[in-house]
Amino acid sequence: MKKLFLAIVLALTLPSAAMAHSHMESSVPEDGATVTEPLEEVSLTFSAGIEEGSTLTLTGAEGEIAFTDIIIEGTQLTGTLAEPLPDGEWTLLWNVISEDGHPIDGEITFEAAAGISADGAEEEDTVTEENAADEEETGTDSADNGEEMTEETPANQENDSNQQEEGGNLLLTVVLLVIVIILLGVIFRAIRRKK
């Protein structure tokens, strides 16, 4: 009878104890995700309530970034950043105290790819400015090339004229030579007939 009573007590006690321990159910961003929007907040949702004293730490190639505010609301733990997270690989370390006092911890890794540089500026703006500068230089070069082409055109026309003149002179010379040969032939025949 005592064994049966003990088995019933254990059967009732163990599930409630297991249910009191919290575990992480979801996160924003998710583990392994690539975040393409500027990220200023992370949040974790747990299966049961969590207590004050729970912490979040964010580390990456830029070092550790501190949260300006960490809020615990029931089963959710939210950390707010002062500025959008720079691009790169990041690890979010969490350490929470479950409502039964049991500490649990874990980590989430993700990649930030929103075009934010380490100084907080959006890299797209820099790229756009560089492209605009390149276009201006290309426009200037094109204008310069246009001027050079305009300047070169009269010279090209002069060369073409010279070539046409030379061609015309050569043709005239050939025609005159043919006429002279024909005249010489006619004169030579006339002389032979007289003999």
Q: Could you tell me if 26 and 107 lie in one domain?
A: yes
CA neighbor of 94 nearest in space, from 83, 84, 108, 112: 108
179 part of a folded domain: no
Q: Could you tell me if 85 and 114 lie in one domain?
A: yes
2-11, 18-27, 121-130 — most confident range? 18-27
53 part of a folded domain: yes
Residue 160 belongs to what domain range?
122-172
Q: Could you tell me if 134 and 153 lie in one domain?
A: yes
Residue 132 confidence (pLDDT): 56
182 part of a folded domain: no
- Whether the pLDDT of residue 63 is over 70: the answer is yes
16 part of a folded domain: no
Q: Could you tell me if 52 and 137 lie in one domain?
A: no
Q: Could you tell me if 75 and 131 lie in one domain?
A: no
Phi-psi bin for 191: left (phi > 0), alpha (psi -120 to 50), beta?
Answer: alpha
39, 88 Cβ separation under 8 angstroms:
no
3-state per-residue secondary structure call for the chain: CHHHHHHHHHHHHHHHHHHHCCCEEEEECCCCCEECCCCCEEEEEECCCEEEEEEEEEEECCEEECCCEEEEECCEEEEECCCCCCCEEEEEEEEEEECCCCEEEEEEEEEECCCECCCCCEHHHHHHHHHHHHHHHHHHHHHHHHHHHHHHHHHHHHHHHHHHHHHHHHHHHHHHHHHHHHHHHHHHHHHHHHC
The CATH number for 59's domain is 2.60.40.1220
Model pTM score: 0.53
Mean pLDDT, the chain, rounded, equals: 77
Structure tokens given for 108: 């989430």
Give the CA angle between residues 131, 133, 136 to the nearest 5°.
110
18-27, 99-108, 128-137 — most confident range? 99-108
User: What's at 121, amino acid-wise?
Assistant: A
Q: Could you tell me if 95 and 146 lie in one domain?
A: no
- Whether the pLDDT of residue 17 is over 70: the answer is no
- Whether the pLDDT of residue 87 is over 90: the answer is yes
pLDDT band at residue 101 using 50, 70 and 90 as cut-offs? confident
33 part of a folded domain: yes
Q: Could you tell me if 114 and 44 lie in one domain?
A: yes
Q: Order of strands across the sheet with 34-35?
A: 34-35, 103-112, 88-98, 50-60, 63-65
71 part of a folded domain: yes
181 part of a folded domain: no
Q: Could you tell me if 110 and 154 lie in one domain?
A: no
pLDDT band at residue 7 using 50, 70 and 90 as cut-offs? very low
46, 20 Cβ separation under 8 angstroms:
no
pLDDT band at residue 15 using 50, 70 and 90 as cut-offs? very low
Q: Could you tell me if 72 and 127 lie in one domain?
A: no
Q: Could you tell me if 153 and 80 lie in one domain?
A: no
Q: Could you tell me if 110 and 145 lie in one domain?
A: no
Q: Could you tell me if 108 and 140 lie in one domain?
A: no
In the chain, the number of structural domains is 2
C-alpha distances in angstroms, 124 versus 57, 110, 131? 28, 21, 10
Higher per-residue confidence, 118 vs 68: 68
